[in-house]
């Protein structure tokens, strides 16, 4: 459920016409819905209400300050992966004592910062990391709160590049070794064993792998609670979203018959997991990124040219793989719709098999291939849907292209929450050595 829909043929974000935003702010432009962000958070939060829990949004999915503030206001904690993310969360008004710090490569500086800010727990991923955290905590005369990430060796059945819970992946410590690690960690004087964490992958569209992993890990969490007094178990993030027919709440059928994948809802997720988790009596943490932000954002782009080659109909747009990298990186699907629909657009005879491509000098710079789309021409705007998670955050300046602007909409209000990057900023930190003059 989200707040992008067609009204009288025009795409709206909440009560704001998306075309009016494109005209005012130019393109490429990310547009986010405050109501969708908040609703997604609340749905998950409510579904977990039978257990003591904390939803820790993953800023890696979308770390715009206004998005973080929206979630902090809703009561969210944060699942950070760098010192930079911690600073951003604090800058946005987030509470460090509701932050968990994940990642396999935490530097001494990052550990020091997190200890000074008083985070809730480090999700440690190796024994060398535990030794390092202990050392930094000793120097600061503190006790570091720790959860160890267990790798349950369960296949999440998602894209290979976002599978994290098998022994082929760099993440966590093998299930069989965990209890030994807790024994040794308990002897490190500057650590306080507070929890256990897992995360098996991202964009899971079925409950099965979550259940399988939870069934395997819950008895372990129970033993660790008895022996080491841990107080929380984090089941990670990974709840998938519908990328196909993302306009399900609007009049999507004009576009094509919805082929909706079996997507996890918070209710389905909680119905299976709460009965497994509740008997533990531990605080449950979840770390959703995509579920909260994915369908809360779209990327607007303008058609520059239509190039017909006899073989292909290339729709060349002003957004590119540097603005939204997911199709190039993971072959991922983003639904593409014109901002203004015309009568009959949904008819096959009015559609043309198209490749929507960006201006970057790589053949991987495409948003879709051979997809039936209504005919569009120079100057028309298109929206790439479900681009709120892993969209802007993965943008780069490749081909010396500035970062796009971002707008947040709430009801009838719309505000630029990130200005389009001024072009000179792209080389502002560079210099030419004197000896080249
Ligand atoms: N917790 C941990 C430890 C993670 O590594 C991740 C995501 C999350 C939580 C949040 O997962 P989510 O709820 O968003 O599935 N760039 C990729 C996704 C990378 C996910 C990385 N880790 C994409 O665009 O699909």
Which is catalytic among the residues 13, 56, 361, 368?
Answer: 361
Taking the C-alpha atoms of residue 151 and residue 154, their distance in angstroms, rounded to an integer, is 8
Q: What is the mean pLDDT of residues 80-108?
A: 98
Beta bridge partners of 233: 196, 284
The pairing of beta strand 405-410 with beta strand 29-33: parallel
Residue with tokens 């043929």, as numbered in its chain:
9
How does DSSP assign 53-108, residue by residue? EEEEE-GGG---HHHHHHHHHHT-EEEE-SHHHHHHHHHTT--GGGEEE--TT--H
* Pairwise CA distance, residues 92 & 19, whole Å: 29
Over 80: is that where the pLDDT of 254 sits?
A: no
CA gap 74, 420 in Å, rounded: 27
pLDDT tens profile 328-382: 999 999 999 999 988 888 788 889 999 999 999 999 999 999 999 999 999 999 9
Q: Residue 53 corresponds to which tokens in the numbers above? A: 């829990």
The pTM for the full model equals 0.96
* CATH number for the domain whose boundaries are 295-427: 2.40.37.10
Which atom of ligand 1 lies at the shortest distance from residue 390's CA? 24
Give mean pLDDT, residues 15-33.
Answer: 98
Distances (CA, A) of 291 to 37, 237, 332: 9, 9, 16
Average pLDDT, the chain: 94
For the chain, the structural domain boundaries read 34-290, 295-427
User: Is pLDDT at 178 greater than 70 in this prediction?
Assistant: yes
Q: For position 263, what pLDDT does the model report?
A: 79
For 299-338, how does the pLDDT look when each residue is reduced to its tens digit (9 = 90+)?
A: 999 999 999 999 999 999 999 999 999 999 999 999 999 9
Choice from 81, 165, 237 to test ligand 1 binding pocket (greatest atom count within 8 A of CB): 237
Over the stretch 112-169, which tens digit does the pLDDT of each residue have?
Answer: 999 999 999 999 999 999 999 999 999 999 999 999 999 999 888 778 777 777 888 8
Running DSSP on this structure, what letter comes out for residue 201? B
- Which of 58, 241, 291 to probe ligand 1 with, by most ligand atoms within 8 A of CB? 58
pLDDT at residue 257, as a whole number: 38
> For a pocket test of ligand 1, which of 55, 60, 393 has the largest count of ligand atoms closer than 8 A to its C-beta?
60
pLDDT confidence of residue 13: 97
3-state SS, one letter per residue, for 320-354: CCCCCCHHHHHCCCCCEEECECCCCCCCHHHEEEE
Ligand 1 centroid distance, CA of 207 (Å) = 16
Atom of ligand 1 nearest to the CA of 102: 3
Q: In this predicted structure, what is the pLDDT of residue 167?
A: 81
Instruction: Give the binding-site residues of ligand 1, using a 6 Å CB cut-off.
Output: 58, 60-61, 79, 102, 162, 164, 199, 202-203, 236-239, 287-291, 326, 330, 389-390
**Residue nearest to ligand 1 atom 23, measured at CA:** 390
Q: How confident is the model at residue 407 (pLDDT cuts 50, 70, 90)?
A: very high
Residue 347: what pLDDT?
Answer: 81
Domain 34-290 in CATH 3.20.20.10? The answer is yes
Atom index in ligand 1 nearest the CA of residue 238 equals 15
Tens of pLDDT, residues 181-191: 999 999 999 99
Lowest mean pLDDT of 68-72, 158-162, 237-241, name the range.
Answer: 158-162
- Decide: 377 and 306 in contact? Cβ < 8 Å: yes
Inter-CA distances, 376 with 26, 60, 255, 363, 383, Å: 18, 34, 14, 21, 12
Tell me if residue 56 is catalytic: no
Q: Which residue has the tokens 């449950």?
A: 284
Q: Which pLDDT belongs to residue 349?
A: 87
User: Residue 226 — pLDDT band, cuts 50, 70, 90?
Assistant: very high
Q: What is the mean pLDDT of residues 292-298?
A: 97
Atom of ligand 1 nearest to the CA of 240: 15
Cα distance between residue 289 and residue 374, in whole Å: 32
**CA 99 / ligand 1 centre spacing (Å):** 16
Q: Whose CA is nearest to atom 19 of ligand 1?
A: 162
Closest listed residue to residue 327, CA positions, set 356, 368, 298, 363? 368
CA of residue 287 to ligand 1 center, whole Å: 9
> Percentages helix, strand, coil for the chain, rounded to the nearest 5?
35, 25, 40
- Of 32-41, 127-136, 217-226, 261-270, where does mean pLDDT reach its minimum? 261-270
16-17 sheet: strands from edge to edge: 4-7, 10-13, 16-17
Q: Residue 252: pLDDT above 60?
A: no
Among protein residues, the one whose CA lies closest to atom 8 of ligand 1: 237
Residue 164: the pLDDT is 79
Q: Do residues 284 and 48 touch, judged by C-beta distance below 8 A?
A: yes
């Amino acid at each position: 459920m989200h707040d992008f829909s067609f009204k009288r043929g025009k795409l709206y974000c909440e009560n704001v016409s998306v075309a009016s935003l494109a005209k005012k702010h130019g393109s490429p432009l990310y547009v986010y819905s405050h109501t969708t962000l908040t609703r997604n958070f609340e749905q998950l939060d409510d579904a977990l209400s039978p257990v003591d829990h904390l939803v820790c949004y993953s800023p890696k999915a979308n770390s715009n300050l206004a998005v973080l503030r929206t979630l902090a206001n809703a009561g969210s904690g944060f699942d950070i992966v760098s010192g930079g993310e911690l600073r951003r969360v604090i800058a946005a008004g987030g509470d460090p004592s509701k932050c968990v710090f994940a990642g396999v490569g935490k530097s001494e500086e990052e550990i020091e910062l997190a200890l000074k800010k008083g985070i809730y727990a480090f999700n440690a991923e190796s024994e060398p990391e535990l030794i390092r955290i202990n050392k930094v905590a000793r120097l600061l005369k503190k006790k570091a709160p720790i959860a160890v990430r267990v790798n349950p060796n369960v296949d999440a059945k998602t894209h290979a590049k976002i599978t994290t819970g098998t022994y082929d992946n760099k993440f966590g410590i093998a299930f069989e070794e965990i209890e030994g690690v807790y024994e040794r960690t308990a002897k490190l004087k500057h650590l306080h064993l507070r929890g256990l964490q897992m995360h098996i992958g991202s964009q899971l569209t079925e409950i099965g792998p979550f259940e399988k992993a939870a069934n395997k890990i819950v008895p372990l969490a129970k033993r660790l609670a008895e022996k080491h007094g841990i107080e929380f178990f984090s089941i990670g993030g990974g709840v998938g979203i519908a990328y196909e027919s993302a306009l399900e709440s609007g009049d999507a059928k004009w576009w094509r018959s919805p082929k909706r994948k079996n997507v996890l809802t918070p209710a389905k997720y909680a119905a299976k997991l709460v009965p497994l988790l509740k008997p533990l009596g531990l605080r449950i943490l979840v770390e959703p990124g995509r579920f909260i932000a994915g369908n809360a954002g779209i990327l607007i782009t303008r058609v520059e040219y239509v190039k017909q080659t006899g073989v292909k109909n290339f729709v060349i747009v002003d957004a590119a793989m540097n603005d939204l990298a997911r199709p190039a990186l993971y072959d991922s699907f983003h639904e593409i719709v014109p901002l203004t629909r015309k009568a009959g657009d949904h008819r096959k005879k009015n559609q043309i098999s198209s490749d929507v491509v960006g201006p970057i000098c790589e053949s991987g710079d495409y948003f879709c291939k051979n997809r039936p789309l209504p005919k569009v021409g120079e100057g028309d705007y298109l929206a790439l849907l479900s681009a709120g998670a892993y969209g802007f955050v993965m943008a780069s300046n490749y081909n010396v292209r500035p970062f796009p602007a971002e707008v947040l909409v709430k009801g009838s209000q719309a505000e630029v929450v990130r200005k389009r990057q001024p072009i000179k900023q792209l080389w502002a930190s560079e210099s030419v050595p004197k000896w080249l003059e």
